[in-house]
Amino acid sequence: LAWAWDNGRVFQTAALFLFGYLIGRRELFRKDNLKFWNKVLCGSLVAFFPLYGLGNMLPDFVENASVRIPLLLVVSSLYKFAFMLLLVSAVLNAYYRTDLQKCLNYLIPYGRMSLTNYIMQSVIGSMLFYNWGFGLHDKLGITASVLVGALIFVLQLAFCRWWLHRYGHGPMEYLWKRATWLK
């Protein structure tokens, strides 16, 4: 949590959830908006590579840590945002223009419970890998850690499919909806 706060992730995560919500409300994920997503794809490609390069070069050019660290935070946030837009626009193009639609439809319950999944991943992952839990960060290699992550994803997907078969919203999405409609 301290790392997320220090690196601006608390506000970034909330902003990205709201950003996705607004895009969904404006129905920009529909097929008739592919021209928009093609522009986003081009723009994110143009933005990502220079920002990523700048982020890698900054430590060599800015020696003062009090300037370098916040500047790196801003630049890395921007190139990560550009990369996220690149991924979203590429997946939407793949969804509407290839035969992947059936496979990707299988993942819809996971996306409908994104807040629940994000929080569950944080709790499960920190419990598995941090020292307050099982401390597996120094016991598992990269491959084993990726396999653990894939297993968590598969279990979450099964849980999402089961949950949404019975309820209209994920548990955290329900709480979020109730909190936003308080009067």
* Structural domain span for residue 136: 108-180
Among 58, 82, 100, residue at a domain's last position: 100
Predicted confidence at residue 135, as pLDDT, reads: 87
Q: Is 82 exposed, middle or buried (0-12, 13-18, 19+ CB in 10 A)?
A: buried
Q: Which of 60, 79, 100 is the last residue of a domain?
A: 100
Q: Which residue has the higher pLDDT, 180 or 114?
A: 114
pLDDT band for position 1 (50/70/90)? low
Type of residue numbered 41: L
Same domain, yes or no, for 57 and 26? yes
Which DSSP state fits 137?
G
Compute CA distances 132 → 2, 65, 135, 140, 179, whole Å: 14, 30, 7, 16, 31
Model pTM score: 0.74
Domains of the chain: total: 2
Where among 65, 100, 135 does a domain terminate?
100
Is residue 32 located within the same domain as residue 78? yes
> What are the structure tokens assigned to 22, written together?
């607004």
Range with lowest mean pLDDT among 2-6, 143-147, 152-156, 169-173: 2-6
Amino acid identity for residue 49 in this structure: F
